[in-house]
Structure 1
């Protein structure tokens, strides 16, 4: 029988300011962009209808901010592990995420105090930075 390794995650004590997170490449498929817009109840046509998106000046449908926000949070919590709880995601958007591209997430620990870890994040695609900002996670009392 094959079993998956236990999910232990990171320990607060083992995290250091300046630590660089492993990159995460996210393929930007049309399905991802449309499905996540629908899942977040964002029915703006620019997120699912290519023809109407072009009529409004875009080259194609593009990712909505709720999806970008969720991907930034996922990037950090996947690195931090199951003992970390998302406390704050503060991002700004730049270049749009269009289908057929890839967004590469990068991050660095910029502060650590009182059980909180703040990570500076960036998500870049072929046009430049799609998102930049910070994600803060808290660690449960027993995992420090």
Structure 2
């Protein structure tokens, strides 16, 4: 993790399902996030993504890159152009500062209208690997740490492979 490192882009298809599911999951029942007719009555061309869904996608982008040991310390984002159904948002990131195990990553998410989200994420990635853990890396992603196999439910036995796109349904 060095200043100037670029994270690989992540393309996310913006679907009605992703927008509505994100709004429901974050208990944001504003009609502009699920009712196209009411959104149009309020001056929007369609429903649009809420900030909490965007925040979750930004967090996922950073942790997918840095691996399961990464801890988000601060997410500071600002919304710009809305994410409407049928568009694609491309997230990009650049490491701006590094202080020991902690980095500040500049994030931009752009769609067909313009910049949907801009901001920074502060993330800590432990430089030491727990005893028994396995470290792997790939050409287009950072190193990943997997915990040792465990018999307890819910304990990961391997690191996830970073995604480069979300399927049309919005689920990963």
What residue ranges of structure 1 are gaps of 5+ in the alignment? 1-14
Report the equivalent of 2:121. 135
Q: 2:44 aligns with which of 26, 50, 58?
A: 58
User: Structure 2 CA distance, aligned partners of 1:36 and 1:20?
Assistant: 27
CA RMSD of aligned residues (A): 0.9
User: Structure 2: how far apart are the matches of 1:114 and 1:80?
Assistant: 15
Distance 2:76 2:24 in 1: 22
Alignment TM-score, normalising by the size of structure 1: 0.87
Q: Normalized per residue, which structure has more helix?
A: 1
- CA distance in 2 between counterparts of 1:83 and 1:65 reads 25
**1:6 equivalent in structure 2:** none
**How many Å apart are 1:141 and its aligned residue?**
5.7
- The superposition leaves residues 53-107 of structure 1 with CA deviations (integer Å, 9 ceiling, x where unpaired) of 0000000000000011111111111101011111111010000000000000001
2:13 alignment partner in structure 1:
27
Moved over 6 A (4+): none
Matches of 2:125 and 2:83, distance apart in 1: 31
Structure 1 counterpart SS, 2:75: strand
State whether structure 2 residue 94 is matched by structure 1 residue 108. Answer: yes
> How many residues end up aligned between the 2 structures?
129
Is 1:84 aligned with 2:70?
yes
User: What is the correspondence of 1:107-126 to structure 2 with a 5 Å cutoff?
Assistant: 107-126=93-112
Which consecutive residues of structure 2, in runs of 5 or more, have no partner in the other structure? 130-172
Q: Distance in 1 between matches of 2:23 and 2:85?
A: 13
Task: Identify the residue that residue 32 of structure 2 maps to in structure 1.
Answer: 46
TM-score, normalized by length of structure 2? Answer: 0.73
